[in-house]
Structure 1
Amino acid sequence: MVNYFFLENRMGKMASGDSSAGPNIFWIDLISATDEEKHLGERDFRAELFTQQESEEIESSSKYVETEDEIGINLNFLVPQEGTFINEPVSFILKNKILITQRAQEFRSFSETYRKMRAIKPADGDDIFLSILETRIDFDADLIESITDKISEISRQMSVDKDPNRALLLKITALQESTIAIRENIVEKQRILSSLLKSKMFPKEDYEKMRIMIKDVGSLL
């Protein structure tokens, strides 16, 4: 599926299916896109999309790639699964003020960005990218707070029970592993934001917002 967002009377509008749905497109969101949909996206917007394998295998040092006219970013989004978290890759391409996103599933940070489109009043794809990242950082903060509360509660139970059962020990180990995974994910975002601050492709008015986001990320570590 492909959703296209375009500006109409300074407001963000959405259409699905065909890139000819409207002029002034600033965001193309590919969700479990078919090969044909990807091909059309590459053709219409002259961008080379990441393959699923490239998104999953790319090393941390290569998660940010910038050329003269394009920025490519790969990020892992944490998804809860059976009491722990797994990484799901999401790819972002910024070219000519247009954002192209590739993902295999729905994420709250994307659905929230959809919902807040009127409030965001995006001028281009850069605004949408920063909004998605900002929303994701807020969710990371909520995750850490929730896990910390759970660890504290289990620790209190263990202090009362002089002989804690195996289930409690396994639970606290799983929570600690989740905390490590979240922090690694946050460091990833910190590196991306640091790279963006050095980029000449973002307008100066975005720099202050990115600096605030870096501070927010740093407070979670």
Structure 2
Amino acid sequence: FPSFQEREDIEISSRYWEEEDSITINTYFLIREEENAFNDTVSFIIKDNYIITVRYRELKTFREFVRRLLTNPSIYKTGFHVFSSILEIKIASDSDVLENVSKEISKLGKIVSSGNLDVTETVFESISYYEDLNMTIRESLIDKQRVLSSLLKSYKVPEDVREELRILIKDVNSLIDYTKFNFERLSYLQNTFLGLLNIEQNKVIKIFTVIATIFIPPTLIASIYGMNFENMPELHWQYGYFYALILMFLSASVPIFLFKRKGWL
């Protein structure tokens, strides 16, 4: 039986090896527990008409296989037939998970397209979650791809099983491409949402810039008059203060008029 270190080692020599009369396979099985997803290694030892599995948790895949086995036991002639069927069930399950991820990404796309920036934190958390889940699925699929490639090179595999494995590896390759497509969609959504945030921030900065520009001329006038001390208009001229206020108002009105004409307000 493979040791714990051999089960967890990611090198292909530790994931698959052949002996004179047996084949040992360590492959990832995607596990989903509530919101968590991770890969757990399941070991298979195939010898003649037998197959031994080493796993440390109950897996839905094996329950489904037992149901199939009891329905039609005659089709499982060797351990290779059993392994092929188990892998087929698991790959179909991974495909369903990928499809659900794709649906959730589509929902995120609608949220991003709505331009609602009140859900910023939720959107980024969701994107991060589905990126991690997609990566976990991809790692599991790539591991199966390597195992299937090694099996197809083995002379021990019966020809009818070999044909099934060829179909499975095509399915796995398609799913790996699908994970790449999901990554591209998530990256696009993230960049789009960041772009919307930047546009909104630029609008805020623009407003503050316009306000600051409008108040610069009145502030300059007030500063100049305030530094005159003895020559301040309001000291020796009855209407000097009102004159300064009108001048400040006009100096602020000119930028406002120009900004409106330019369409900046």
Match of 1:97 in 2: 49
Q: Is the Cα–Cα contact under 8 Å of residues 190 and 218 in structure 1 kept in the other structure?
A: yes
Q: Is 1:123 aligned to residue 77 of structure 2?
A: yes
Take 2:152 and 2:136, find their aligned partners in 1: how far apart are those partners? 25
For structure 1, the residue ranges without an aligned partner over 5 or more in a row are 1-48
CA offset digits 1:68-118 (Å, max 9, x no partner): 211110011111135231111100001122100010111111000001112
Take 2:53 and 2:34, find their aligned partners in 1: how far apart are those partners? 27
TM-score by length of 1: 0.73
Match of 2:94 in 1: 140
CA offset digits 1:118-146 (Å, max 9, x no partner): 23531121111111001101011101000
Q: Is 1:62 aligned to residue 14 of structure 2?
A: yes
3-state SS of the aligned residue for 1:87?
strand
3-state SS of the aligned residue for 1:216?
helix
Identity %: 39
Q: Is the Cα–Cα contact under 8 Å of residues 91 and 172 in structure 2 kept in the other structure?
A: yes
Take 1:86 and 1:72, find their aligned partners in 2: how far apart are those partners? 22
3-state SS of the aligned residue for 1:104?
coil
Shift of 1:60: 4.1
Q: Is 1:113 aligned to residue 68 of structure 2?
A: no
Shift of 1:156: 0.9
Q: How does 1:81-96 map to 2 (within 5 A)?
A: 81-96=33-48
Structure holding more helix per residue: 2
* Cα separation, partners in 2 of 1:57 and 1:207, compared to 1, 3 Å: closer
Q: Is the Cα–Cα contact under 8 Å of residues 109 and 135 in structure 1 kept in the other structure?
A: yes
1:168 to 100, 104, 123: 123
Take 2:38 and 2:12, find their aligned partners in 1: how far apart are those partners? 16
Greater relative contact order (Cα < 8 A, sep 6+): 1
Q: Is the Cα–Cα contact under 8 Å of residues 74 and 91 in structure 1 kept in the other structure?
A: yes
Shift of 1:190: 1.0
* Cα separation, partners in 2 of 1:188 and 1:58, compared to 1, 3 Å: closer
Quick check: which has more Rg, 1 or 2?
2
Match of 1:158 in 2: 112
Q: Is the Cα–Cα contact under 8 Å of residues 71 and 95 in structure 1 kept in the other structure?
A: yes
* Cα separation, partners in 2 of 1:61 and 1:168, compared to 1, 3 Å: farther
Q: How does 1:14-93 map to 2 (within 5 A)?
A: 49-93=1-45
TM-score by length of 2: 0.62
Runs ≥4 in structure 1, deviation > 6 angstroms?
Answer: none
Q: Aligned pair count?
A: 173
For structure 2, the residue ranges without an aligned partner over 5 or more in a row are 177-265
Take 1:59 and 1:143, find their aligned partners in 2: how far apart are those partners? 26
Shift of 1:59: 2.8
Q: Is the Cα–Cα contact under 8 Å of residues 83 and 174 in structure 1 kept in the other structure?
A: no
3-state SS of the aligned residue for 1:220?
helix
Structure holding more strand per residue: 1
